[in-house]
Structure 1
Amino acid sequence: MGSFIREEEIVQYIKELVSIPSPSGYTEEVMSHVATFMEENGISFQRTNKGALLATIKGKDDSKHRLLTAHVDTLGAMVKEIKGSGRLKLTMVGGFRWNSVEGEYCKIHTADGKTYTGTILIHQTSIHVYKNMGEIKRDEDNIEVRIDEIVKSKADTEKLGVSVGDFVSFEPRVEVTESGFIKSRHLDDKASVGILMHLIKLIKQQNITLPYTTHFLISNNEEIGYGGNSNIPQETMEYIAVDMGAMGDGQATDEYSVSICAKDSSGPYHYKLRQHLVELCKRNDIDYRVDIYPYYGSDASAAIRAGYDIIHGLVGPGIESSHAFERTHISSLKHTANLLWLYLQSELIK
């Protein structure tokens, strides 16, 4: 059993990761953070042309490989237009709804390296002026950024160096409660990246020899659909995406267990691999839920679409209010880490 798992270390990795802005397309800083971690722990890795990171730990059998992936890119936005008032119109990066970021603090990252703060609001926010503000549609026409600088015109904002195409990141507001909850934006999927970082460190600290050479792909384009669909070594037999379990009405997933996905919008995941993961949970008292996500896709499904001949699976911690004000519990992180710890030391599917 994964008795070496230290949940507090996973939480610390998560807090560090969510505090680094990284909407898809703007991930260099967070990827450098992960690269530094790999260097400090003596892990061999390479950077891909797309900007992802592929770390490798050689196993006893180097002819058959495994790959685990988690993505470090997040939802965000870009400046679509500078309005006459000096405020900013946005375009989405990733799939969310504008109401989930209304009222959120944000940062504008300019091309010349400057950062400005702001707040995402509907244009008709003041109830004292706009009687029907509650009925206004939350869309690209009405959502705007109120930048925290003295700007009264488009020219004023342009003088700051803000321009169309600048990235906008959302404040995570990470908090860990005494009851064991981790509240933050971007737990999708930085919670999973934190888990993989912890497992990699444990493998090195405990001098574990894995049965098969294992790759850890930290992808940086998952939120826009193609993060884990390349740079998969040809020896790879099994590919597991470690990503959030989505919660809601009709779902089995909760915040306290590891979620094992049976099917998402791409279709069923590999049945025998799913059964293998379930058996590992049953034999080792790991709390798990098998679930189906109707509006979900993962890096594993992206790899299948790209034509890779692999056995694919999807597991991860249960995340409440996905793509919005996310939350999970430390027990979900623990159960996910324990399952992956055991999986990494198990035999391949036959």
Structure 2
Amino acid sequence: MSRIDDTYIKDLLERLVNRPSPTGYTDEITRMCCDELSELGISYDITRRGAIRAKIEGENSQPARSIIGHIDTIGAQIKRLKENGRMSVAPIGTWSPRFAEGARCTIFTIDEGAFRGTILPLKASGHTFGDEVDTQEASWQNLEVRVDIRVEDKADLEAAGFNTGDFVAIDPQPEFLDSGYLVTRHLDDKGGVAAMFAAMKSLKESGARLPVDVYFLFSITEEVGHGATGVLTQDIASMIAIDNGTVAPGQESREFGVTIAMGDRVSPFDYHLTQKLIRLCKENDIEFQRDLFRYYRSDSASAIESGEDVRTALVTFGIDSSHGWERTHIHSLHSVARLICAYSTSEVEIPRDKEDLGDIEGFTEQPMERHKDEKWEGKDESPDRPKKE
């Protein structure tokens, strides 16, 4: 089994979360990831808008495999400059205004550079509004950005260079504890990206044998629903998304081990690819659990919806308070990196996948035999029970 460098995971994760990248403002995080790929000696291409397609070559080019994570995060945009010298704000991605209240942030203007600020509720002072600070509805319409320069009205904001549409990046405030817990905003999905890089580092340093080419993909628009669009190649027959698994009541995800997602709000994941990942966890003693997500979609959904005929699966690391004050444990990211390595070095089980189309020969099978209920063996048949086979 390839060695995973946990120190590398944490160091890279800290650098990733501290590089702002709300969807639509991802050029610099793309540059950072490309620099890291060059350091590891891994070749890559980038699309027009900045999605990354890196490749570690295997013994054969097809059926190629891919691992995908996203480097964009939730964030916000300036919606309107207000007469009181503050700015209303709209979300990028889906996240609760409850987690925007009080957030420190950076506002990126086109011509005047970046400014620091805070997202505040309209009624922020208990000394002025009394109990209304507790009863005001949590909504994006009730938030505004207070920028940390002297501005008193809309004209001052305009003179300072602010405009509708300016991007707002939320401070990550990372805290990595000796207990192994990693607490920071934007673990979704920079935790997954750090695990992917750790797996690539391990594969390169160990000189591991890869039966087929493995593409490591980094999308830039997952938080708005179309991340994997346009980044796959025709050689790719399977794609595993690496993303967060929600740790919450009613879910099976945990902050330890890996979670194999069986389905999300779009569809079940590919049966054969998912079952292979489960087998790899068992064979390599990787702690795991299964989960099913009702209010969740990942890069796999955008690939299928765009017409890609690829097998998809989702491997997650557990996040408590996803899209809020996020937390995971290094054990989970370590486990994800191990599974990526195990999958990358595993033998191809469906050779037919190298062809886009073919006849029935070599096509997959799913078990259909009835379970034999030993409890009824040798007993008289019940009239309301199907005859035993």
Compute the TM-score of the two structures, normalised by the length of structure 1.
Answer: 0.97
TM-superposed deviation, 1:208: 2.2
TM-superposed deviation, 1:134: 1.1
Secondary structure, counterpart of 2:115 in structure 1 = strand
Query: Is the Cα contact below 8 Å between 1:272 and 1:349 reproduced in 2?
Result: no
> Residues of 1 paired with 2:111 and 2:38: CA distance?
29
> Residues of 2 paired with 1:195 and 1:325: CA distance?
20
**Aligned twin of 1:298:** 298
* CA deviation vs aligned residue, 1:305-326 (integer Å, no higher than 9, x gap): 1111111000021111000000
**Aligned twin of 2:239:** 239
TM-superposed deviation, 1:51: 1.4
Query: In 2 relative to 1, CA 155–140 (structure 1 residues): closer, same or farther, beyond 3 Å?
Result: same
TM-superposed deviation, 1:348: 2.9
Residue identity in the other structure for 2:51: A
**Aligned twin of 1:55:** 54
**Aligned twin of 2:71:** 72
Secondary structure, counterpart of 2:67 in structure 1 = strand
**Aligned twin of 1:310:** 310
TM-superposed deviation, 1:179: 0.6
* CA deviation vs aligned residue, 1:74-104 (integer Å, no higher than 9, x gap): 0000000011011110011000010112111
> Residues of 2 paired with 1:222 and 1:264: CA distance?
15
Sequence identity percentage: 38
Secondary structure, counterpart of 1:34 in structure 2 = helix
User: How do residues 137-176 of structure 1 correspond to structure 2 at under 5 angstroms?
Assistant: 137-176=137-176
Query: Is the Cα contact below 8 Å between 2:239 and 2:313 reproduced in 1?
Result: yes
**Aligned twin of 1:259:** 259
**Aligned twin of 2:335:** 335
**Aligned twin of 1:107:** 106
TM-superposed deviation, 1:173: 0.2
**Aligned twin of 2:369:** none
TM-superposed deviation, 1:349: 4.0
* CA deviation vs aligned residue, 1:90-140 (integer Å, no higher than 9, x gap): 011000010112111001011125111111110101112113221111223
Query: Is the Cα contact below 8 Å between 2:66 and 2:239 reproduced in 1?
Result: yes
Secondary structure, counterpart of 1:116 in structure 2 = strand
Unaligned runs of at least 5 residues, structure 2: 351-389
> Residues of 1 paired with 2:159 and 2:298: CA distance?
41
Aligned residues: 349
User: How do residues 122-271 of structure 1 correspond to structure 2 at under 5 angstroms?
Assistant: 122-131=121-130, 132-271=132-271
> Residues of 2 paired with 1:276 and 1:207: CA distance?
23
* CA deviation vs aligned residue, 1:178-213 (integer Å, no higher than 9, x gap): 111110000000001111111112222222231111
Query: In 2 relative to 1, CA 113–273 (structure 1 residues): closer, same or farther, beyond 3 Å?
Result: farther
Residue identity in the other structure for 1:52: A
> Residues of 1 paired with 2:249 and 2:39: CA distance?
43
Query: Is the Cα contact below 8 Å between 2:112 and 2:160 reproduced in 1?
Result: no
Query: Is the Cα contact below 8 Å between 2:280 and 2:343 reproduced in 1?
Result: yes
Residue identity in the other structure for 2:284: N
Query: Is the Cα contact below 8 Å between 1:70 and 1:217 reproduced in 2?
Result: yes
TM-superposed deviation, 1:57: 1.4
**Aligned twin of 1:282:** 282
> Residues of 2 paired with 1:316 and 1:261: CA distance?
7
> Residues of 1 paired with 2:93 and 2:349: CA distance?
34
**Aligned twin of 2:344:** 344
Query: Is the Cα contact below 8 Å between 1:273 and 1:349 reproduced in 2?
Result: no
Query: In 2 relative to 1, CA 89–349 (structure 1 residues): closer, same or farther, beyond 3 Å?
Result: farther
TM-superposed deviation, 1:42: 2.0
Residue identity in the other structure for 2:213: T
Compute the TM-score of the two structures, normalised by the length of structure 2.
Answer: 0.88
Query: Is the Cα contact below 8 Å between 1:45 and 1:55 reproduced in 2?
Result: yes
Query: In 2 relative to 1, CA 281–101 (structure 1 residues): closer, same or farther, beyond 3 Å?
Result: same
> Residues of 2 paired with 1:113 and 1:186: CA distance?
26
* CA deviation vs aligned residue, 1:243-291 (integer Å, no higher than 9, x gap): 1111111100011121110010111001111111111111222111100
Query: Is the Cα contact below 8 Å between 2:219 and 2:231 reproduced in 1?
Result: no
Residue identity in the other structure for 1:184: T
Residue identity in the other structure for 2:77: M
Is 1:31 the equivalent of 2:30? Answer: yes
Secondary structure, counterpart of 2:120 in structure 1 = strand
> Residues of 2 paired with 1:72 and 1:118: CA distance?
23
Secondary structure, counterpart of 1:106 in structure 2 = strand
CA RMSD in angstroms comes to: 1.1
Query: Is the Cα contact below 8 Å between 1:246 and 1:320 reproduced in 2?
Result: yes
Secondary structure, counterpart of 2:261 in structure 1 = strand
Query: Is the Cα contact below 8 Å between 1:319 and 1:328 reproduced in 2?
Result: yes
Query: Is the Cα contact below 8 Å between 2:4 and 2:334 reproduced in 1?
Result: yes
Secondary structure, counterpart of 2:129 in structure 1 = coil
